[in-house]
Amino acid sequence: MADLVNLTIDGVAVAVPKGTLIVDAAKKLENNIPVFCYHPKLKPVGMCRMCLVEIGTPKVDPATKQVIKDDKGNVVIAWQPKLNTACTNPVSEGMAVRTATPVVDGARSDVLEFLLTSHPLDCPVCDKGGECPLQNLTLEHGPGISHFDYESKQHNAKHVPLGDLIFLDRERCIQCSRCIRFQDDIADDHVLQFHDRGRHMEIVTMSEPGFDSYFSGNTTDICPVGALTTADFRFKARPWELDHTPSLCTHCAVGCNLSLNTRLETRTGGHEIKRIMPRQNEQVNEIWTCDKGRFVHEFTSARERLTKPLVRKNGALVETGWDEALALIADKLQGAGSSVAGVVGDRVPNEDAYLFGKLFREVLHANNGRHPVQLGMSPSLPMHYADVARAHGLGVNADFKQLGKGDTILIVNGDVEEQAPVWFLRLRQAVVDRGAKLIIAHHRSTKMHRYASRIITYAPGNAAQWLASPDGALDELKEARNLVVVFGDEKCDPVNARGLALGLAGLITAAGHAGKQNSGLLPLYPHANTQGVYDMLGLETPGEDLQPPAAVSWTIGVGEPNDVPPSRASGAKPFAIVQELFLTEIAQQADVVLPVLSFAERDGSFTSGDRRVQRFYAGLPVAHGSQAKSDWWIFQEIARRLGVSWSFGTAAAIFGEMAGQVGYYVGLNYDGLGASETQWPPMGREDLYYGGTVYDNEGGIGVRYPTAVESGRAVSFKPVQLVTPSMGALSRPARRLYQNGELIGRSNVIGAHIEVTQ
């Protein structure tokens, strides 16, 4: 237990850890001291004076150094002669704070009156209206009148683009510097700064292109006024018109918790995502998202979404009904026997991947020695390493926030900012703010290199070879309190990627960190459910190539052509079934194409890269006229046509069965994943002034499943024989955040950032 300090706030006693600021101690008592510049995730600066309170400390006799007590035995408090800021002063033993006196009320009113002298009366047209701390605090504490001349207000041209994603309204800025401090202290992108002084002071961007950061959207959440607005939401809706649904990001393995803000559009007659906001989960993303997670959502309402099944007739794909498409598939599967191969993309939810695996195992009986289903994940096909990461991953109660002095973070062959941006923020803080040691081994430089105390290089594609050489011994890891090993597969051949994972697991064990809560492997998977799909398909023993499908190939939610295993089939082309959102390049070649629901129109669960199983919920109804279905519904209908009667009515029902069947998930339940717990510091709808417009954690914080060590499983892995890096692997570009793809490619907002790689 941290050292506790006792104090009273408005006469109410509270005990808080040493070092706690008065503003946060008051929050423990649900005493909301108003703030503008203070934010619980940023270092205090004491700039706005909104948090002024009366502070007193026990009076001490200078001669005896004893606390003075009055006739009744009460400690005499020496009150400071002036008001002081609750956001910069830490608590001390015996401190007394007054937050509700006439002098405090007067100060709050005065500060607001001053702020409003430069602030336009824009609320009716301001995007922040309805969720604006300045508006709310003015109603609660403001003067109601102004002594200042309206004509002396600032009148600037509106809406300066800071970049193409974020716009600035200079008059609205109250100069709190939250945006600058977020960019400097959390994102380490020094792209914003104040320019000029006094009433002319304004935010400017110093980067070229403007506001050049993967995390820019977060500044609009914590800006306490409508000075910063996003390109996708400004002038599009008012907050009170929006429905909000707990969801998850599908774009990388972090599993950021999100809220889908949706509305019925009279323009189109359909519901749309108007914006995506972070949802607080202190275990996963705290209150942050990267800009890809926030802005890449237009694909959900894209006109090109598939809405009806397609079958190939006379060489062309033509629309048909579900009955014809499903009957055709059932007929082909019956004729194919066990000669069916499936590929499942790693954005497909757990429930669907589980039912696909069950269909193969129990209905198609295709598992004749080789697993017929592969995880659609370039570049690690078919030799995967999710089993190694699962066995040697972080402990079930691991907490990024506990990493600090004495701990070592080793990053091998991974670019954390590009591949798991919010992990970049959190791991960086462990190093820069809390003193963890960072060692990086990579063939090229990454942003994380800025913080490394040791940098190791090797030839591209040779990460596993380097680790297996005497240079990879890294004896210093034994001295660490904990060892987190983050790794990626950039430019690795599949067998070498697996070899790297095995080598790193061995390194953790050899250094004495196996089984520790805050130690283990952290893989930089490409998408939201790489681990989950792997788990669901029961790919216990990867290592063999997927054999060319002789009769039927079945591709689920893969998206990119290079995520499909290279076909080595000779002779007859297999009958190809594709389930997709869009008529992708792969779908265009198929014999049957089935339209499926996106993550926004259905519920389900994903398993993050650190094995946290989390739920997402349906935020949009199925578009009018669309016949798209969940992948799992399709599998069930096909099973029925093959004579097996399943009766799963919901994703929850599938999860219920799965959690009794899939080893690592035994004991989890769907309701449990949806359970929330109190988050600290508290953020969300009631605390706009304090944390910003982040949503609270309704919908659940998820549950991490235990590693093999923790669940008492004996696991052993066959060593692999490393190969000389192939030209194919070496010429493959590094995975970047804005790499072009089927989903990001449909985002107009992020369009200018998309990188087209060959």
What are the residues binding ligand SF4 (CB under 6 A)? Answer: 173-179, 203, 223-225, 227-228, 249, 251-252, 254-256, 285, 289-290, 292-293, 420-422
Q: Which does 177 bind (CB under 5 to 8 A by kind): ligand FES, ligand SF4, none?
A: ligand SF4
Q: Is the peptide bond before 34 cis (omega within 30 degrees of 0)?
A: no
Q: Coil, helix or strand for 535?
A: helix
User: In terms of CB distance, is 177 or 205 closer to ligand FES?
Assistant: 177
Binding partner of 47, given ligand FES, ligand SF4, none, CB within 5-8 angstroms per partner class: ligand FES
Per CB under 6 A, 48 contacts ligand FES:
yes
Task: Give the residues across from 60 on adjacent strands.
Answer: 67
Examine residue 688 and tell whether it contacts ligand FES (CB under 6 A). Answer: no
Q: In the structure encoding, which two tokens stand for residue 415, read together?
A: 């670019």
Beta bridge partners, 555, equal 343, 578
Q: How many residues does the chain have?
A: 758
Comparing every residue's Cβ against ligand SF4, the nearest one is 293
Q: Are 579 and 427 in contact (CB under 8 A)?
A: no
The string over 687-721, giving b where at least 16 C-beta atoms fall within 10 Å of a residue's C-beta and e elsewhere, is: bbbbbbbbbbbbbbbbbbbbbbbeeeeeeebeebe
Candidates 8, 10, 28, 46: give the one binding ligand FES (CB under 6 A).
46
Residue whose CB is less far from ligand FES, 180 or 743: 180
The amino acid that residue 560 corresponds to is E
Q: Among the candidate windows 3-11, 32-40, 708-716, 721-729, which touches ligand FES by CB under 6 A? A: 32-40
With a CB cutoff of 8 Å and minimum separation 6, the contacts of 302 are 582, 746
Q: Quick one: which of 22, 35, 306, 654 contacts ligand FES (CB under 6 A)?
A: 35
Are the C-beta atoms of 536 and 357 separated by less than 8 Å?
yes
Q: Which does 85 bind (CB under 5 to 8 A by kind): ligand SF4, ligand FES, none?
A: ligand FES
Residues 6+ apart with CB under 8 A from 276: 247, 258, 259, 260, 261, 289, 293, 294, 295, 297
Residue in 51, 203, 296, 344 binding ligand FES, rule: CB under 6 A: 51
Closest distance to ligand FES from the beta carbon of 45 (Å) = 7
Is the distance from CB of 707 to CB of 523 less than 8 angstroms?
no
* Residue among 294 and 516 whose Cβ is closer to ligand SF4: 294
- Work out which of 38, 633, 664, 717 binds ligand FES, going by CB under 6 A: 38
Q: Nearest distance from residue 203's CB to ligand FES, in Å?
A: 17
- The site for ligand FES, by CB under 6 A, has a size of 12
Measure the CA dihedral 557/563/564/568, to 10°. Answer: 180
In angstroms, what is the minimal distance from the CB of 112 to ligand FES? 12
59-98 residues near ligand FES, rule: CB under 6 A: 85, 87
What is the nearest approach in angstroms of ligand FES to the Cβ of residue 110?
Answer: 13
For the CA atoms of 504, 505, 510, 511, the dihedral, rounded to the nearest 10 degrees, stands at: 70
Residue 441: Cβ within 10 Å count: 22
Nearer to ligand FES, 174 or 581 (CB): 174
By beta-carbon proximity to ligand FES, the closer residue of 29 and 363 is 29
Q: Which of ligand SF4, ligand FES, none has residue 227 at its interface (CB below 5 to 8 Å by kind)?
A: ligand SF4
CA distances from 381 to 386, 500, 504, 575, 655 (A): 12, 15, 19, 22, 27
Of residues 59 and 736, the one with the C-beta less far from ligand SF4: 736
Does residue 41 interact with ligand FES by CB under 6 A? Answer: no
Query: What is the contact surface with ligand FES in residues (CB under 6 A)?
Result: 35-38, 46-51, 85, 87
